[in-house]
Amino acid sequence: MSKINKLKDIISNSNNIVFFGGAGVSTASNIPDFRSQDGLYSEQYDYPPERIISNSFFMVNPEEFYRFYKNKMVYRDAKPNYAHIALAKLEEQGKVKSIITQNIDNLHQMAGSKNVIELHGSVHRNYCMKCDKFYDLNYILDYEGVPICNCGGTIKPDVVLYEEPLNNEAMTKAIQIINQAEVFIVAGTSLTVYPAANMVRYFPGEHFVLINKEKTSYDRFADLVINDYIEKVFEEIVK
C-alpha cells in the first residue's frame, strides 16, 4: 500500500484526529517558512531575525522591529491552500477535532476551521501596551512606522516573540488535546522551536503521522513519515 493510501486509511477510520502544523503548511500560500534554504532566516539583515523578533529588541528598537515584521512576517493578501481547505473539510466531516498551529497567519480560520489553537498568537490581534485597546491588522499595516494608540501607548502584536512564554491556556489545552487524540498528524514544521516542539511527545497513541518535505529529528518517533509537499498530500487525501 502506498504511504498516501495508508494515510487515507488511517483518516477514514478515525473521528479523533489532531493536526499540529508549522510554517510549511503556509508556504503554498506564498508565505515563506523560517528554516528552509529559501526561508526567512537564510536572508541577510542588519540583525539576526531571531534577535529582531525578540521581546527585548521590540522594547528598545520598535522601529526596526516593525520594519522587519511588516515586510517579512505579515502577508495580508495570503489565501488558504489545499492543506488548509482539506483540513477544514475534514473538521466539518467530524474527523479532525483540532488544529494546533505555530503559524500566526489565520489561514486555517480563513479556510473554515473552527477549532484552532494558535500557539504563537496571531498578526490579527494587536493591543496597546498602555490601555490594552484592540487594533486589527489593517491598522498596523496602514500606520507608517511604529503604530501608536489614541492614548499615546505603543501597540504590540499578540505574537509570541523570542524570550516570551507561550500562552498558558493555549499550551495546556493543546497538550490535553494531543494526549486524547487517536491520530496525530504533524506537518510542515522543523520541530526545532521549544516548547512547541516538545508537545509532540505528549501523543500516546499509535498513529503518529509526520508530513514534511525534509526529514526532521522526530521522524524516528513517527509510525508513518511522508516526505512530500503537504498541499499535494492533502489534495490527494480529499480527492
Residue 185 is placed in which grid cell?
Answer: 498528524
Burial of 39 (0-12, 13-18, 19+ CB in 10 A): middle
Q: Nearer to ligand OAD by C-beta: 91 or 231?
A: 231
Q: Nearer to ligand OAD by C-beta: 34 or 66?
A: 34
* Smallest distance from ligand OAD to CB 203, Å: 17
Q: Nearer to ligand OAD by C-beta: 83 or 149?
A: 83
Distance CA(90)–CA(75), nearest Å, equals: 25
Q: Phi and psi for 129 in degrees, rounded to 5?
A: -75, -15
* Smallest distance from ligand OAD to CB 150, Å: 28
Q: Phi and psi for 197 in degrees, rounded to 5?
A: -60, -30
Residue 84 annotated in active site: no
CA distances in angstroms from 192 to 196, 198, 218, listed in the order given: 8, 9, 10
Say what angle helices 82-92 and 230-238 make with each other, to 10 degrees.
40
Please choose, from the candidates 88, 84, 108, the residue with its C-alpha nearest in 3D space to the C-alpha of residue 96.
Answer: 88
**Which of these is catalytic: 84, 120, 124, 207?**
120
* Smallest distance from ligand OAD to CB 165, Å: 11
* Smallest distance from ligand OAD to CB 73, Å: 7
Quick check: 129 and 147 in contact, CB under 8 A?
no
Q: Nearer to ligand OAD by C-beta: 50 or 182?
A: 50
Residue 46 is placed in which grid cell?
Answer: 542588519
Distance CA(30)–CA(81), nearest Å, equals: 9
**CB atoms inside a 10 Å sphere around CB 58:** 24
Q: Nearer to ligand OAD by C-beta: 124 or 149?
A: 124
* Smallest distance from ligand OAD to CB 161, Å: 7
Residue 10 is placed in which grid cell?
Answer: 488511517
Residues that bind ligand OAD (CB under 6 A): 22-24, 27-28, 33-36, 39, 53, 102, 120, 160, 188-190, 192-193, 212-214, 229-231
Tell me the catalytic residues: 120
